[in-house]
Each structure stands twice: as structure tokens, then as C-alpha cells.
Structure 1
Amino acid sequence: MVVVVLTACPLGLRGDLTRWLLEIASGVFVGHITARVRDRLWERITGQIRTGKAIMVYSARNEQHLSFKVHRSDWNPVDCEGLTLMERPTDGGDGRSAGGGNRYRRTGWSNASKYRRAARFRRSRSS
């Protein structure tokens, strides 16, 4: 079993993949092909994708029964004690994700911080 996910790829590449795999959603291809065809498809994908991204998940004889191939993706497969895990993009330290998003962490808005702030306010008013 093979699953290929393409983002920002040329239409010709998507049409080319439909010869061997079924496109079940935009950019998502599924099928059952041999290892030789799978490797040749991956070479074709990486050669034609230009600036797009590609991820291939396929059956393998290992603990997880699957393996990954990644091309220009923010998520990378990492071996962790014999298991392949997908490493997420890390936070750059300035509150933004490595992918360029603007997700700033808001501090001081938890219920505990509200209770602390209210207690400080009460103490300052009573003094």
C-alpha cells in the first residue's frame, strides 16, 4: 500500500501519478504497487515537483509496518529507538513557529494567573 501527498505541484505530475495510483482527494494518491514502481515514481515526483512538497508513506517490513519518504517538507522522519516518528517544525524562540506562522504564546491569561492578580489587587487595596 502506498499513499502520496503532494502540495503545490504541477498539474502534469498529478496526471502522471493517476496512471498508477488513485487520486482520492486533491493531491492525495493511494494505491498498491511494487517496490520498483514505487521507487521510480518517487524519482519522478522529486524530479518534477519544482517548489512543491511531497510525502510518501508505504508498507515496509519493520515494527510499524510502514516507512516514509519526504521531499521539501517541514516535517521530517526521525528514527527514535527503532521507530520512525515525524518531527514537527520547532518553535524559533520568538513565539513564531518555524513554518513562518504568527502563533504568539499569550501569558498571564490562565485562571491561576487571574486568581493571583486578583489576590495581589485585594492585598494592595487593603494596605
Structure 2
Amino acid sequence: MVVLVLTACPAGLRGHLTRWLLEVSPGVFIGHVPARIRDLLWMRVEEMCKNGRAILIYSTRNEQRLAFKVHQHDWEVVDLDGLQLMRRPSEGKVTNPMRHGWSAASRKRRARRS
């Protein structure tokens, strides 16, 4: 079983993936393909998904019965004693940190009420 999640990727890549996998939601593909085809699809995703993000989850023969691959993603795969986990980046590593505080629209709205 293969699950592939794409974010901000070209439509041509999505069209290519629908040859092999079923698109159940925009950017979410699922299917059952051999390991060779899965690896070739992942190579195509890495090649075509330049600025976008991709996560591949597939079944394997290990304790978790699954494995992850990521491309251009903030979260990273970490292997801890044979278990693959997704590690969220610390606050200092975030590429697009959200600004804290009130938005400009919220400040204007609050000013009109007062």
C-alpha cells in the first residue's frame, strides 16, 4: 500500500501519478504498486516537484509495517531504534514562522469598537 501527499506541485505531476495511483483528495494519492514502480514514482516526484512538498508512506516488513520518505518538508524522518518517527522542527529552524500578536485587520476592528 502506498500513500503519497503532494503540496504545491505542478499539475503535470498529478496527472502522471494518476496513471498508477488513485487521487482520493486534491494532492492525496493512494494505491498498491510494486516496490520498483513506487521507487520510480518517487524519483519522478523528486524530479518534478521543485518547490513543492511531498510525503510518501508505504508498507514494509518491519515492526511498524510502514516507512516514510519526505521531499522539501519541514518535518524530518528520524530513526529511533528501528522505529521511524516524524520530528517537528524546533522553533529556531522553522522557515516560515508565524508572527505573534494581533493581525492588522484585528487591530483595526478593535479600534473601531472602542
- With normalisation by structure 1, the TM-score equals 0.75
Flag the structure with more relative contact order, 1 or 2, with Cα contacts below 8 A and sequence separation at least 6: 2
- Within 5 Å, which residues of 2 pair with 1:101-116? 101-102=97-98, 104=100
Residue 58 of structure 1 is matched in structure 2 by 58
Separation of aligned partners in 1, 2:89 and 2:22:
30
Residue 19 of structure 1 is matched in structure 2 by 19
Separation of aligned partners in 1, 2:10 and 2:98:
28
Q: Which has the larger radius of gyration?
A: 1
List per-residue Cα deviations over 1:3-53 (Å, max 9, x = no partner).
000000000000000000000011000000000000000011111111111
SS at the partner of 1:12?
helix
Separation of aligned partners in 1, 2:27 and 2:90:
25
What letter matches 1:72 in structure 2? Q
- Within 5 Å, which residues of 2 pair with 1:1-127? 1-92=1-92, 98-102=94-98, 104=100
Seq. identity, %? 58
Flag structure 1 segments of 5+ consecutive residues without an equivalent: 105-127
Over aligned residue pairs, what C-alpha RMSD do you find? 1.5
Flag structure 2 segments of 5+ consecutive residues without an equivalent: 101-114
Find runs of 4+ consecutive structure 1 residues off by over 4 angstroms: none
Number of positions where the alignment pairs a residue of Structure 1 with one of Structure 2: 101
Separation of aligned partners in 2, 1:65 and 1:103:
39
